[in-house]
Structure formats: structure tokens, C-alpha cells
Amino acid sequence: MEIGKELMKVLNKVYEPSTMKEMVFKRYDIAFKTDEQGRPVLLFIGKKDDSGHIKGERFACRLVLAADGSIVKDHWENKGKASPNFR
């Protein structure tokens, strides 16, 4: 599974810092964790089971920052199956 352009529009926004945000994107349930600046850095995408855990894929964002804190480069990497123990 790859992250498409439409999902990247959601992930390129800034949210509340250091939180876990859950939402529905098209036919998938997604949850992402934000860093101290509110940028999504960890993504879970799939379907929620009865206990509320997402079964699907897990992605992590690798950021390269400049000295002034601006993003020089970012890359979302598929880390495999989402763990059923993480929400």
C-alpha cells in the first residue's frame, strides 16, 4: 500500500502538537500521531476492529529539517502491518 496524493493533503496539514488524531478517510480508518510542532509523523491506516484497534498498515515519516526548523525533505515509509496492541 502506498500513500496517495489525497491522503498526503491530510498529512501535510498541521494539527494539535503531540496528540493522536483519528478520522475516516474514504473507506479507511486512519490514526496518526503528531510531533511537537503538530506535524503527523506516524500513521496507521486500515479498518478498526471491535476493540477500536486499526488492522492494516503502519507508516512513519522521516523528516530532514534545516537549522531554522523548516522542512528540507520528508518521506513516508511503510513499516509493515499495524500492531493490534496500538491504538
Residue 87 included in any domain: no
- Enter the C-alpha cell of residue 31: 490514526
**First vs last C-alpha separation in the chain:** 20
Note whether 59 and 82 are within 8 A (CB): no
| pLDDT above 60 (res 86) | no
Residue 11 included in any domain: yes
Considering its fold, how many domains does the chain have in total?
1
pLDDT of residue 9: 94
| pLDDT above 80 (res 13) | yes
Q: Which domain holds residue 56?
A: 5-82
pLDDT in tens, 33-54: 999 999 999 999 999 988 888 9
Residue 45 included in any domain: yes
CA atoms of 48 and 66, how far apart (whole Å):
37
CA atoms of 69 and 36, how far apart (whole Å):
12
Residue 48 included in any domain: yes
Q: What is the dihedral of CA 75, 5, 43, 56, to 10 degrees?
A: -120
pLDDT of residue 66: 78
